[in-house]
Amino acid sequence: MRSSLPLSLSVLAGCAAASATPMPSTTGWTGAGNPGIAPAITTTTGMTPELAAVRAQGPVGLEHMLQRYDELPPGEERIAMEKQIDAIAGQRYATVSRLYWYTDLAAAEAAAKAQDKPILALRMLGRLDEELSCANSRFFRTALYANTGVSDYLRDHFVLYWSSERPVPRVTFDFGDGRRIVRTTTGNSAHYVLDQSGTVIDVLPGLYAPSVFRAELETAEALWRRVAHGAPEQRMDKVDTVAIVEHHRLLAADRSKRSANLSLPYVPGSPSLLALGAIEKAAMMAQRVTVSKAAVEVPDFVALGVASTQSARDDRAAWAAIGQAVWKLEGTPTSPPQILDEQSRALVMTLQSAVPAGVRKPSKAELMGIVARYEQSIVADTAINELVLRPQISSYIASTGTVDFETLNAMVYESVFFTPKSDPWLNLLPRDEFTGLPGDGVLMQ
């Protein structure tokens, strides 16, 4: 529901009524690093005093900014407002998700208490309000937060908060003639459901299919309401941690049993999800990886000499088939299921098509192929996260009774994601292959 409270700031003046689309603009270069997309220059750490005043109003300030944005016709003013909205929301592409994110846990806890909601805490590498955050957080922005049903649910049922585990490593391929490719590499993200005092209720590691993500959050929200003691104003003082631990004991046992009972024949080489009837032909022949991240990062690792082609084999088709079978993502007899909604698909195609002058834009057929492989990766990730990674977290909670956010997060990054804070090089060093470079190419600035 849109608020009717006034918001009078000079940065919002001059808006003209017109029909609007939530997609970022894609006409020409609008700033360094991202063609046709409003550059993420103004973040929550470097915004103007005027924007900071709007952000301080919380979701109400964002809602009024979005109302002004919706009234603007396409053009430079609308593009400029996109980055302002991103800064106020604390998230890149907030004109699509329309979600407000806190970056201070105490403020999120206060808001959660006032609204009688749990907290959804995203832990990630990099920043959610910047373009080059870690790969999974970028996938969250397109597959989850841009999904209409998911974003509406998050807005109504959770207070949102994100924090950074560490800066995200970047890889630059410089062709020596002005052309460069800049990407991120290594790192994972997790969503933590917290009570109003920061106690962990549940954890969802990595990327999920939108329908599964929402269903798991609904279960976590129901658990929060069950374990919260007393009236709403008392809920942040005490929760039933014994009930939380018991929930995770049962959760770990259930997912371990489901994983052990999988036995489907494998069909190799499928570049997309399977149509109904073909799912039974596919099966588990996979090692634990994060598939959507691997699809982006492993080719870079191979090019850099960090991984071999043999170690970088793609088990996406196998895990995706498992995910389709477990969550009954069956589609029709002639076509696979659609994992992304239309709004997410539009954002994916907008970003994929935002190329600089002189670079060929992908055709419609190529875009559809990219979306199909992306959807396949999402379902594969869902299977890996639910059947392999998440049971490890639940088992740890059940065996140790740990429900402290920072303690549990340290365990997740060290033992589940294998990127502990104690390793400043995130498993990229040392290596056992000679590169011919002094010190293996390591530079310190």
Question: Tens of pLDDT along 124-154?
Answer: 999 999 999 998 999 999 999 999 999 999 9
Distance CA 169, CA 265 (A): 38
Q: Is the pLDDT of residue 193 over 90?
A: yes
Centre a 10 Å sphere on the Cβ of residue 17 and count the other Cβ atoms it contains.
Answer: 9
Q: How far apart are CA 13 and CA 203, in angstroms?
A: 42
| Torsion sign, CA atoms 251, 207, 63, 200 | positive
Question: 187-201, 209-223, 428-442: which has the minimum mean pLDDT?
Answer: 428-442
Residue 235 token pair: 């809920």
Decide if pLDDT at 71 tops 60: yes
Residues 284 and 305: their CA atoms lie apart, in Å, by: 29
Q: 165 by DSSP, 3-state: which?
A: strand
Q: What is the pLDDT of residue 24?
A: 63
The structure tokens 């659609």 sit at 338
- Residue among 112, 13, 4, 9 at smallest CA distance from 54: 9
More confident residue, 124 or 387: 124
Amino acid at residue number 155: R
Contacts of 240 (CB under 8 A, 6+ apart): 226, 227, 228, 229
For CA atoms 28, 30, 34, 37, give the dihedral sign.
Answer: negative
Is the pLDDT at 324 greater than 70, yes or no?
A: yes
Lowest-confidence region among 212-216, 387-391, 424-428: 424-428
Least trusted range by pLDDT, from 51-60, 99-108, 294-303: 294-303
Evaluate if residue 293 carries a pLDDT over 60.
no
Q: Specify the residue for token string 């103004």.
A: 42
- Name the token pair of 100: 């407000």
CB atoms within 10 A of CB 426: 18
Q: How far apart are CA 43 and CA 38, in angstroms?
A: 13
pLDDT beyond 50 at 112: yes
What's residue 343's pLDDT?
Answer: 96
Q: How far apart are CA 418 and CA 165, in angstroms?
A: 13
348, 142 in Cβ contact below 8 A?
yes
User: Residue 429's pLDDT is what?
Assistant: 77
Q: How far apart are CA 76 and CA 84, in angstroms?
A: 13
What's the gap between Cα 392 and its chain centre? 20
As a whole number of angstroms, the distance between CA 346 and CA 232 comes to 39
Residue 316's pLDDT band, with cuts at 50, 70 and 90, is confident
Which residues lie across from 164 on neighbouring strands?
A: 124
Give the residue among 86, 2, 77 at the shortest CA–CA distance from 39: 86
Q: What is the mean pLDDT of the chain?
A: 80
Determine the Cα–Cα distance for residues 269 and 152; give it in Å rounded to an integer.
Answer: 36
Asked whether residue 11 carries a pLDDT value surpassing 50, the answer given is: no
Which pTM was predicted?
0.81
DSSP state of 206: S
Alpha helices (H) in 198-341, listed in sequence order: 210-227, 241-260, 291-304, 316-326
Contacts (Cβ under 8 Å, ≥6 apart) of 22: 95, 96, 98, 343
| Phi and psi angles of residue 267, each rounded to the nearest 5 degrees, phi first | -110, 110
Average pLDDT, stretch 90-98? Answer: 97
Given a cut of 60, whether residue 40 has pLDDT beyond it is: no
Quote the percentage of the chain above a pLDDT of 90. 53
Q: What does the pLDDT look like over 341-375, one tens digit per residue?
A: 999 999 999 999 999 988 999 999 999 999 999 99
Which pairing describes strands 101-102 and 159-166: parallel, antiparallel, or unpaired? Answer: parallel
- 387: pLDDT strictly greater than 60: yes
Q: How far apart are CA 354 and CA 348, in angstroms?
A: 10
Q: What does the pLDDT read at residue 262?
A: 59
Rounded Cα distance between 356 and 359, Å, is 6
Range with the lowest mean pLDDT among 4-13, 271-280, 283-292, 312-321? 4-13
